[in-house]
Amino acid sequence: MEEGTFAETRLEDLKGREERAFARNLDLLRATVYPFQTAVFVVASRERMKQLLGQETNGVAFPDTRVVCFILNEKVNAAGAHELMHVMAKNLWKGKPKTWLNEGFATYADDLWYGYRLHNLNRYLMQQGNLISLEKLIEHFGASSVMITYPQAGSFVKYLYEQYGADKLRELWQHGTTTDLQRLLGKDVATLETEWHSKLMQADASAVKYEFSPRK
Protein backbone atom coordinates (compact mmCIF):
# COMPACT_ATOMS: atom_id res chain seq x y z
CA MET A 1 0.00 0.00 0.00
CA GLU A 2 1.03 3.59 -0.48
CA GLU A 3 2.34 5.76 2.34
CA GLY A 4 0.08 8.33 3.90
CA THR A 5 -3.16 6.59 2.91
CA PHE A 6 -6.13 5.58 5.04
CA ALA A 7 -5.19 1.93 4.54
CA GLU A 8 -1.80 2.47 6.12
CA THR A 9 -3.48 3.54 9.37
CA ARG A 10 -5.57 0.35 9.36
CA LEU A 11 -2.78 -2.06 8.53
CA GLU A 12 -3.23 -4.46 11.44
CA ASP A 13 -7.01 -4.61 10.98
CA LEU A 14 -6.48 -5.22 7.28
CA LYS A 15 -4.03 -8.05 7.92
CA GLY A 16 -6.49 -9.70 10.28
CA ARG A 17 -9.36 -9.45 7.82
CA GLU A 18 -7.33 -10.91 4.97
CA GLU A 19 -6.07 -13.74 7.17
CA ARG A 20 -9.66 -14.62 8.10
CA ALA A 21 -10.68 -14.39 4.45
CA PHE A 22 -7.83 -16.70 3.47
CA ALA A 23 -8.89 -19.26 6.07
CA ARG A 24 -12.54 -19.14 4.96
CA ASN A 25 -11.60 -19.53 1.32
CA LEU A 26 -9.37 -22.48 2.09
CA ASP A 27 -12.25 -24.13 3.93
CA LEU A 28 -14.74 -23.45 1.13
CA LEU A 29 -12.27 -24.91 -1.37
CA ARG A 30 -11.90 -27.98 0.89
CA ALA A 31 -8.12 -27.59 0.83
CA THR A 32 -5.64 -27.96 3.66
CA VAL A 33 -2.81 -25.96 2.11
CA TYR A 34 -2.36 -23.24 -0.48
CA PRO A 35 1.17 -23.62 -1.86
CA PHE A 36 1.32 -20.27 -3.66
CA GLN A 37 2.24 -16.74 -2.69
CA THR A 38 -0.27 -14.01 -3.53
CA ALA A 39 0.60 -10.32 -3.78
CA VAL A 40 -1.95 -7.86 -2.38
CA PHE A 41 -2.02 -4.22 -3.50
CA VAL A 42 -4.22 -1.74 -1.64
CA VAL A 43 -5.03 1.60 -3.28
CA ALA A 44 -6.79 4.69 -2.02
CA SER A 45 -9.39 5.41 -4.72
CA ARG A 46 -10.99 4.41 -8.00
CA GLU A 47 -9.04 7.19 -9.64
CA ARG A 48 -5.79 5.70 -8.41
CA MET A 49 -6.95 2.27 -9.58
CA LYS A 50 -7.52 3.72 -13.04
CA GLN A 51 -4.04 5.27 -13.06
CA LEU A 52 -2.49 1.90 -12.23
CA LEU A 53 -4.69 -0.48 -14.23
CA GLY A 54 -6.52 1.60 -16.79
CA GLN A 55 -9.95 0.88 -15.33
CA GLU A 56 -12.11 2.17 -12.49
CA THR A 57 -13.10 -0.64 -10.16
CA ASN A 58 -13.24 -1.37 -6.45
CA GLY A 59 -11.26 -4.57 -6.79
CA VAL A 60 -9.64 -6.83 -9.33
CA ALA A 61 -7.84 -10.17 -9.34
CA PHE A 62 -5.20 -11.63 -11.62
CA PRO A 63 -5.23 -15.38 -10.93
CA ASP A 64 -2.48 -16.28 -13.41
CA THR A 65 0.04 -13.98 -11.72
CA ARG A 66 -1.56 -14.40 -8.28
CA VAL A 67 -2.18 -10.73 -7.65
CA VAL A 68 -5.16 -8.98 -6.06
CA CYS A 69 -5.79 -5.25 -5.90
CA PHE A 70 -8.57 -3.45 -4.05
CA ILE A 71 -9.62 -0.09 -2.62
CA LEU A 72 -9.65 0.79 1.05
CA ASN A 73 -10.57 4.29 2.13
CA GLU A 74 -13.01 6.08 4.45
CA LYS A 75 -16.00 5.20 2.22
CA VAL A 76 -15.00 2.07 0.28
CA ASN A 77 -13.76 -1.15 1.84
CA ALA A 78 -13.20 -3.80 -0.82
CA ALA A 79 -10.96 -5.93 1.37
CA GLY A 80 -12.06 -9.44 2.22
CA ALA A 81 -12.51 -12.79 0.55
CA HIS A 82 -13.87 -11.88 -2.91
CA GLU A 83 -10.77 -11.02 -4.95
CA LEU A 84 -8.66 -13.49 -2.99
CA MET A 85 -11.10 -16.28 -3.85
CA HIS A 86 -10.69 -15.56 -7.56
CA VAL A 87 -6.97 -16.24 -7.24
CA MET A 88 -7.17 -19.17 -4.85
CA ALA A 89 -9.95 -21.02 -6.67
CA LYS A 90 -8.32 -20.67 -10.08
CA ASN A 91 -4.99 -21.96 -8.76
CA LEU A 92 -6.44 -24.83 -6.72
CA TRP A 93 -9.43 -25.90 -8.80
CA LYS A 94 -7.91 -24.98 -12.19
CA GLY A 95 -10.18 -24.82 -15.23
CA LYS A 96 -11.95 -21.86 -16.81
CA PRO A 97 -15.22 -21.37 -14.94
CA LYS A 98 -18.19 -19.60 -16.44
CA THR A 99 -18.49 -16.00 -15.31
CA TRP A 100 -21.63 -16.57 -13.22
CA LEU A 101 -19.90 -19.27 -11.21
CA ASN A 102 -16.57 -17.47 -10.96
CA GLU A 103 -18.18 -14.26 -9.66
CA GLY A 104 -20.84 -16.10 -7.70
CA PHE A 105 -18.32 -18.17 -5.76
CA ALA A 106 -16.19 -15.10 -5.03
CA THR A 107 -19.26 -13.21 -3.80
CA TYR A 108 -20.33 -16.18 -1.68
CA ALA A 109 -16.87 -16.21 -0.11
CA ASP A 110 -17.79 -13.00 1.74
CA ASP A 111 -21.50 -13.94 1.93
CA LEU A 112 -22.16 -10.21 1.80
CA TRP A 113 -23.08 -7.65 -0.82
CA TYR A 114 -23.14 -3.98 0.18
CA GLY A 115 -23.44 -5.04 3.81
CA TYR A 116 -26.37 -7.43 3.34
CA ARG A 117 -26.34 -11.21 3.73
CA LEU A 118 -26.83 -12.76 0.32
CA HIS A 119 -30.04 -14.71 0.93
CA ASN A 120 -31.62 -11.75 2.76
CA LEU A 121 -30.81 -9.39 -0.10
CA ASN A 122 -32.02 -11.82 -2.73
CA ARG A 123 -35.32 -12.33 -0.97
CA TYR A 124 -35.75 -8.56 -1.10
CA LEU A 125 -34.83 -8.50 -4.79
CA MET A 126 -37.28 -11.32 -5.45
CA GLN A 127 -40.06 -9.50 -3.62
CA GLN A 128 -39.33 -6.37 -5.68
CA GLY A 129 -39.38 -8.35 -8.94
CA ASN A 130 -35.74 -7.52 -9.69
CA LEU A 131 -34.19 -10.98 -9.95
CA ILE A 132 -33.43 -12.16 -13.48
CA SER A 133 -34.08 -15.72 -14.58
CA LEU A 134 -31.40 -18.27 -13.74
CA GLU A 135 -31.11 -19.15 -17.40
CA LYS A 136 -30.27 -15.52 -18.23
CA LEU A 137 -27.91 -15.29 -15.26
CA ILE A 138 -26.01 -18.38 -16.38
CA GLU A 139 -25.98 -17.89 -20.13
CA HIS A 140 -25.88 -14.06 -20.36
CA PHE A 141 -24.31 -12.90 -17.11
CA GLY A 142 -22.89 -9.66 -18.51
CA ALA A 143 -26.19 -8.47 -19.99
CA SER A 144 -27.66 -7.18 -16.71
CA SER A 145 -26.63 -4.80 -13.93
CA VAL A 146 -23.81 -6.05 -11.71
CA MET A 147 -25.92 -4.83 -8.78
CA ILE A 148 -28.22 -7.74 -9.55
CA THR A 149 -26.02 -10.38 -11.16
CA TYR A 150 -23.27 -10.45 -8.51
CA PRO A 151 -25.47 -10.88 -5.42
CA GLN A 152 -27.85 -13.18 -7.31
CA ALA A 153 -25.03 -15.43 -8.48
CA GLY A 154 -23.55 -15.36 -4.98
CA SER A 155 -26.81 -16.45 -3.38
CA PHE A 156 -27.42 -19.19 -5.96
CA VAL A 157 -23.88 -20.53 -5.58
CA LYS A 158 -24.32 -20.48 -1.81
CA TYR A 159 -27.48 -22.54 -2.23
CA LEU A 160 -25.76 -25.03 -4.55
CA TYR A 161 -22.76 -25.34 -2.23
CA GLU A 162 -24.85 -25.92 0.89
CA GLN A 163 -27.35 -28.21 -0.83
CA TYR A 164 -25.07 -30.30 -3.05
CA GLY A 165 -21.61 -29.85 -1.54
CA ALA A 166 -18.17 -28.69 -2.56
CA ASP A 167 -17.44 -31.67 -4.81
CA LYS A 168 -20.44 -30.98 -7.05
CA LEU A 169 -19.60 -27.30 -7.18
CA ARG A 170 -16.07 -28.17 -8.21
CA GLU A 171 -17.45 -30.29 -11.05
CA LEU A 172 -19.60 -27.35 -12.12
CA TRP A 173 -16.52 -25.15 -11.92
CA GLN A 174 -15.08 -27.09 -14.84
CA HIS A 175 -18.23 -26.62 -16.95
CA GLY A 176 -21.16 -24.60 -15.57
CA THR A 177 -23.73 -24.32 -18.39
CA THR A 178 -27.45 -24.94 -17.93
CA THR A 179 -26.95 -28.36 -19.53
CA ASP A 180 -24.15 -29.17 -17.08
CA LEU A 181 -26.35 -28.26 -14.14
CA GLN A 182 -28.97 -30.79 -15.20
CA ARG A 183 -26.38 -33.47 -15.97
CA LEU A 184 -24.49 -33.08 -12.70
CA LEU A 185 -27.37 -32.34 -10.33
CA GLY A 186 -30.14 -34.32 -12.01
CA LYS A 187 -32.50 -31.32 -12.13
CA ASP A 188 -33.27 -28.79 -14.80
CA VAL A 189 -32.70 -25.09 -14.25
CA ALA A 190 -36.39 -24.35 -13.69
CA THR A 191 -36.54 -26.88 -10.85
CA LEU A 192 -33.35 -25.55 -9.29
CA GLU A 193 -34.70 -22.02 -9.55
CA THR A 194 -37.91 -23.01 -7.74
CA GLU A 195 -35.96 -24.75 -4.98
CA TRP A 196 -33.60 -21.82 -4.57
CA HIS A 197 -36.52 -19.39 -4.37
CA SER A 198 -38.07 -21.58 -1.67
CA LYS A 199 -34.84 -21.29 0.28
CA LEU A 200 -34.91 -17.51 -0.10
CA MET A 201 -38.37 -17.41 1.45
CA GLN A 202 -36.77 -18.53 4.71
CA ALA A 203 -34.48 -15.47 4.73
CA ASP A 204 -35.18 -12.20 6.51
CA ALA A 205 -35.42 -9.22 4.18
CA SER A 206 -37.10 -6.88 6.67
CA ALA A 207 -34.02 -4.69 7.16
CA VAL A 208 -32.95 -4.52 3.53
CA LYS A 209 -33.04 -1.15 1.79
CA TYR A 210 -31.13 -1.63 -1.43
CA GLU A 211 -31.00 1.11 -4.03
CA PHE A 212 -29.37 0.60 -7.41
CA SER A 213 -29.51 1.60 -11.03
CA PRO A 214 -31.00 -1.08 -13.31
CA ARG A 215 -28.49 -0.09 -15.97
CA LYS A 216 -25.21 -1.96 -16.35
CB 89 within 8 A of CB 170: no
The answer on 190 and 104 residing in a single domain is yes
Query: Residue 179's pLDDT is what?
Result: 92
Q: What is the pLDDT confidence band of residue 214, given thresholds at 50, 70 and 90?
A: low
The H or E element spanning position 127 is helix 118-127
Q: How do residues 60-85 score in pLDDT, each as one tens digit?
A: 999 999 999 999 998 998 999 999 99
- Alpha-carbon span 193 to 172, nearest angstrom: 16
Tell me if 208 is assigned to some domain: no
Tell me if 17 is assigned to some domain: yes
The answer on 89 and 109 residing in a single domain is no
Q: How do residues 19-49 score in pLDDT, each as one tens digit?
A: 999 999 999 999 999 999 999 999 999 999 9
7 contact partners, CB below 8 Å, separation of at least 6: 1, 14, 42, 44, 72, 73
Q: Which residues does residue 112 pair with via DSSP β-bridges, in sequence order?
A: 117
Q: What is the pTM of this model?
A: 0.93
- Alpha-carbon span 181 to 139, nearest angstrom: 12
180 contact partners, CB below 8 Å, separation of at least 6: 172
Within 4-98, residue ranges assigned H as helices are 6-9, 11-28, 46-53, 82-93
Q: How do residues 102-150 score in pLDDT, each as one tens digit?
A: 999 999 999 999 999 999 999 999 999 999 999 999 999 999 999 999 9
The answer on 118 and 47 residing in a single domain is no
- Alpha-carbon span 14 to 63, nearest angstrom: 21
- Identify the CA nearest to 84 among candidates 157, 13, 23: 23
The answer on 71 and 161 residing in a single domain is no
Domain region containing 33 = 6-93
Query: Residue 216's pLDDT is what?
Result: 47
Evaluate if residue 173 carries a pLDDT over 90.
yes
Evaluate if residue 158 carries a pLDDT over 90.
yes
Query: Residue 4's pLDDT is what?
Result: 81
The answer on 193 and 104 residing in a single domain is yes
The answer on 111 and 87 residing in a single domain is no
- Alpha-carbon span 197 to 19, nearest angstrom: 33
- Alpha-carbon span 62 to 87, nearest angstrom: 7
Evaluate if residue 2 carries a pLDDT over 80.
no
Tell me if 25 is assigned to some domain: yes
Query: Residue 122's pLDDT is what?
Result: 98
Task: Report the number of distinct structural domains present in the chain.
Answer: 2
Percent share of the chain, pLDDT over 90: 82
The answer on 61 and 14 residing in a single domain is yes
